[in-house]
Chains A and B, each alone.
Chain A
C-alpha cells in the first residue's frame, strides 16, 4: 500500500471516525459527501463503538498476497453498537471459535506490512469478547 493512501485512511483506521448526517442522523463508514437517505451534504464526525457482534463471517483459506502466513483466518461482518456494520478480521482465534452472534470488541492491530522495509499499516480487528 502507498503511504499516501494509508495516511488518508488514518482517521477511520485508527479511531473509527464515521460521518453522521446532520439532517437524518444516518451514520456512514467510510464517511460520504452526500447522504443517500436524505441527500443532505452536512455531516458531523462521530467515533464508532468498539463493541459489537458477528453478523456473519467467512473463513479465508487461500489468502491474498501479504496475508498467506495467517491462513486460515476469519473475516467477519461485525455489527457495532450504534448500528454500523463493518468488515474486519477476527484475530486470536481459530475458525471453529467464531459463531454468528459472537460478541466481539475492536482492537488496534497491524493489518499488513509492506515488505521488510516498507511502511507498517495499522488498523482495527475484532477479537472475541
Chain B
C-alpha cells in the first residue's frame, strides 16, 4: 500500500479583485467574471516566493503526518517560478524542514503540471522502496503580462504531499496513476523573458481539453472505474470554466467537482492548482471516498491520480489550517498600484 501520509496547503493573504484590474485596462470586469468565472486572485507579499510558500505548505504536511522530518528521503518541488535560475528550491525547502543531509532533491518544471510531476515521482520512489518518506510539492507565484487576459488569473499558492508505504499512517491510498503527454506549443516563456506567451484560443481545445479529457479517460480505464465511483474530482483550474466543462465532458456532475474548485476566489496557482484542489478535498473527504485528480501543464500534458481516503484521514484533517480557511479568512485586498509594487512591476532605481 502506498499513499499520502500528510498534506498541507499555503495561500497568501493578499487578494486583488477582477474589477480592480479591469479599471486600469478599460476591460469589462463582468465579462471576465461571467466568461471565465473569476472574481479575485491571491497575490504573494514581496517577501514571499515559491520557496517560502513550499516551506509553509510542507510544514503542514509534516505536522499532519506526525513524522520525524529527518526520515524524508526525497524532496521534489514543481514550479515555473523557482526563485533562482541556477540553484535548487529543494535544498532550501529540505533544510527548512530538517530533512538534510541524507535526502535526494530536484526541482521540476512543466508549466502548470510541475507540481503533480513532483507528486508522481515522490509516490513512485516510495512505492519502489527506495526511500521511507518522499515529499512532492507544487508551488508558484506566476505572473501574467499587464493587460493580458492571464493577469486576471495568475495567482500564488502551494500544496505539499508526503508519501509513505506505512499502512497505519496513510490518510489517502494511491490506487493508480496515469500520464498523457504530447508536444504542443500552446504556452511558453523563453529564457530571459519576463512574461509567458500563449496561443490564445489554441490553449483550449487542442491543449487543455484534449489532454485533461484524454488523461481522465485513460486514468479511469486503467483503474477500471467510472465517474459515479468517485466522490470528488479535481481538474487543473486555469479559470473557473475549464475544469467544470472538462468534468462535464468526462461525465462528472458539478457536485463532485466544487469541493476542490477554488479558482473563482484563488485564481490559477499554476503548479499549485490541482494539488491545492486536492488539499481542499482531503480536508472534507470521508473514509473510502474515491478522488480523481487530473492536472494539466502547457507544452503539454496531464497526470492522473486515483486516491481512496482511509479511516486515518479524519484525525489528520484538524491538525493544520484547512485550505478553505486560508482562502476565505484574513484576506487583505490590494489596489492595483500596491499590486504592481508587490509583484515588482515598477521600475526602480538601483
Contacts and interface: CB of A to CB of B under 8 A. Distances in A.
Task: Determine chain B's interface SS by DSSP, over half rule.
Answer: loop
Interface stretch (A18-26, A29-37, A77-85, A107-115): A107-115
8 contacts: A92-B12, A107-B56, A108-B96, A109-B45, A109-B52, A110-B47, A110-B52, A122-B92
A14 B69 CA distance: 14
Interface in B64-102: 83-84, 92, 95-96, 98
A10 B55 CA distance: 14
Given A108-B55, A108-B96, A122-B96, A91 B47 contact: yes
B318 interface: no
B48 interface: yes
B14 interface: yes
A91 B52 CA distance: 13
A122 B13 CA distance: 19
A91 B14 CA distance: 12
Nearest to B330: A128
A110 B96 contact: no
A109 B95 contact: no
A120 B83 contact: yes
B84 A110 contact: no
Interface in B21-55: 45-49, 51-52, 55
B332 interface: yes
A99 B14 CA distance: 21
Contacts of A70: 46
Given A122-B92, A122-B96, A110 B341 contact: no
Given A10-B95, A14-B96, A110-B49, 13 more contacts: A15-B96, A15-B98, A47-B98, A69-B46, A92-B45, A92-B332, A107-B56, A108-B51, A108-B55, A108-B59, A122-B92, A122-B96, A127-B13
Interface string A2-23: 0000000010001100000000
Interface residues of A, number: 19
Interface string A49-77: 00000000000000000000110000000
A34 B155 CA distance: 48
> Which of A70, A107, A108, A111 is most buried by chain B, counting CB atoms within 10 A of its CB?
A108
Interface string A93-129: 0000000000000011111000100001010010110
Contact of A122 (B12, B51, B59, B348): B51
A47 B52 CA distance: 19
Contacts of B45: 91-92, 109
B95 A107 contact: no
Contacts of A91: 45, 47
Contact of B47 (A15, A111, A115): A111
B289 to A, nearest CB: 31
6 shortest interchain CB distances as A-B pairs: A108-B55, A14-B96, A109-B47, A110-B47, A108-B52, A92-B13
